[in-house]
Structure 1
Amino acid sequence: MDDKPHGTVRERLSALQEQQRRAESRRRLLVIGASLLAGGGLVAAATILILQDRARTSLDAVQTINVTQRNHTENPVSYPQSPPVGGDHAPAWQNCGVYTEPLRNENVVHSQEHGAVWIAYRPGLPKEQLDILLEQSRGRDFVLLSPYANLSAPVVLSSWGKQLKLDSADDPRLVAYLRANINGPGTPEPGASCSGGVGEPST
């Protein structure tokens, strides 16, 4: 009996199986490659988002001022910054909280010595902007919020030896600044009281 036809069938079957194995191998490689590309794309996208977020909350624009004087005085003080970021000040500190009227520089500077951040805003700031400032101020210790005439920016954040000017209250650097500078590393008397002084905040 001639086995040649059977051998030919077996050879063809073997060849087809080999082709299928190669095709399956190619498919696996394509799937792996696509997964790697997609994963790389996700990593790249995540990296971009992280870098963008860091840029939005970067405090590189914060001005650092060397403050050398911090004596008590009953006299008015001429400060080089407006609002001030430290210096000689009144014996009584300003109670922290929200104010609807301008505050006396000399009292607020004493609060800054205790670790407070002063959020000053231009009078007439739009209500939606002021609402953001109120939201970020209420419930926080060591924060003062008040209007301030003739500001060089709509919102100015000031603490002892530090200042940041913002064009908008919804700038994410507002929160970043508060976190970094409430009782920040440059505070002369960190943790000293921000109540029991002068002034009656609305909240």
Structure 2
Amino acid sequence: MGDSAGQQTVKQQRADARAKKVERYQQERRAQQRRRKIAIVSGSIGGAAVLALIVTFIATAAEPAQRPQDIAIEGLQEFTNLPATHVGPAPVDYEAEYDMKPPAGGNHFQAWLNCGIYSEPQPNENAVHSLEHGAIWVTYNPDTVTDEQLDELRSAVPDQYAIVSPFPGLETPIAVSAWGAQITMDSPSDARLGQFIDRYWKSASAPEPGASCSGAYEGAGRVV
């Protein structure tokens, strides 16, 4: 009983720590959105109106952040009871075995993919191992996503525990995956991108949240 209670305490501590990180991330994102709105509005209305707008934004800034697990995301696809066994060197056919493309979990190689931004496609089996550690994987079709959209996509993800890479043949312009969860979208300006990051980035629902996302397999075309 003592060991079980201790494990539960550690798990709760990790969950609490992640909740605080996500809350800070949400606050920073809301602050950035407020600054952008103020800059846009201030160019077209008088000083008194701008001041009133700023006061309104400050008043709403104190609103408590929504719990990550309570964030509802339209079009979210979830995958349950995924295995997490180390396999290889033969590749895993995720589409045939799990009906996932790109993969969002399942058996994978022993080495995880170092998190970062890549200009070249990455091995599914290494990227899935990173998802096991709580990373998110943003994939895009290089034939349909423009350079401007790619810049926006890269700037939208956290600088840790996130992977961005092209995925040739992707049926939609963009797919965003975490362990056991995935959404697709046409544009990086889709509000669901931020919602997905808020809910699944370094999520306690991953099998090994907080495990390293560096120091393992370095894929080709690493940009950042």
> Normalization by structure 2: what TM-score?
0.62
Q: Deviations over 1:4-56 (max 9, x none)?
A: xxxxxxxxxxxxxxxxxxxxxxxxxxxxxxxxxxxxxxxxxxxxxxxxxxxxx
Aligned CA RMSD, in angstroms, stands at: 1.4
1:77 to 92, 101, 104: 92
State whether residues 112 and 187 of structure 1, in contact with CA within 8 Å, keep that contact through their aligned partners in structure 2.
Answer: yes
Query: Is 1:185 matched up with 2:204?
Result: yes
Q: Deviations over 1:84-120 (max 9, x none)?
A: 0100000000000000000000000000000010000
Query: Is 1:60 matched up with 2:67?
Result: no
Deviation at 1:132, TM superposition (A): 0.7
**Counterparts of 1:4-153 in structure 2 under 5 Å?**
58-74=72-88, 75-79=90-94, 80-124=99-143, 125-137=145-157, 140-153=159-172
The sequence identity of aligned pairs, in percent, is 40
Amino acid at match of 2:155: E
Contiguous gaps of at least 5 residues in structure 2:
1-70
Measure the CA separation in 2 of the matches of 1:172 and 1:190.
Answer: 25
Deviation at 1:176, TM superposition (A): 1.3
> Normalization by structure 1: what TM-score?
0.69
Structure 1 moving runs of 4+ over 2 Å: none
Amino acid at match of 2:178: S
Query: Is 1:199 matched up with 2:214?
Result: no
Which of structures 1 and 2 has the bigger CA Rg? Answer: 1
Contiguous gaps of at least 5 residues in structure 1:
1-56
2:193 alignment partner in structure 1: 174
